[in-house]
Amino acid sequence: MDHDDDTDRDAGATAVPSDAAPGSTELIEAAPDAVFAVLTDPTTYPRWLVGAQHIRSVDEDWPAVGAKFHHAIGVGPAAVPGSTSVRRCSPDDELVLAAGMGPFGEAAVRFLLTATADGTLVEFRELPVKGPARIAWRVARPFVSAALWGRNAVSLAGLSRVVRERTAS
Least confident residue range of 12-21, 52-61, 79-88 = 12-21
Averaged pLDDT score across all residues of the chain: 89
Strand partners, 8: 16
What pLDDT, in 10s, does the model give residues 12-35?
A: 335 666 666 778 999 999 999 999
* C-beta of residue 126 within 8 angstroms of C-beta of residue 108: yes
Whether residue 163 is predicted with pLDDT greater than 70 in this model: the reply is yes
Peptide bond into 63 cis (omega under 30): yes
Q: Domains plus CATH for the chain?
A: 10-168 (3.30.530.20)
What local confidence, expressed as pLDDT, does residue 19 receive? 63
What local confidence, expressed as pLDDT, does residue 75 receive? 86
DSSP 27: E
Burial 114-130 (b: 16+ CB within 10 A, else e): eeeeebbbbbbbbbbbb
**pTM score, whole prediction:** 0.88
What local confidence, expressed as pLDDT, does residue 9 receive? 42
Query: Phi and psi at residue 87, in whole multiples of 5°?
Result: -105, -35
For helices 131-139 and 141-168, angle between their N-to-C axes, nearest 10 degrees: 120
What pLDDT, in 10s, does the model give residues 121-141?
A: 999 999 999 999 999 989 999
Whether residue 8 is predicted with pLDDT greater than 50 in this model: the reply is no
Comparing C-alpha atoms, which of 23, 51, 29, 40 is closest to residue 119? 29
* C-beta of residue 39 within 8 angstroms of C-beta of residue 31: no
What local confidence, expressed as pLDDT, does residue 4 receive? 47
Residue 96 has a CB neighbour count (10 Å cut-off) of 23
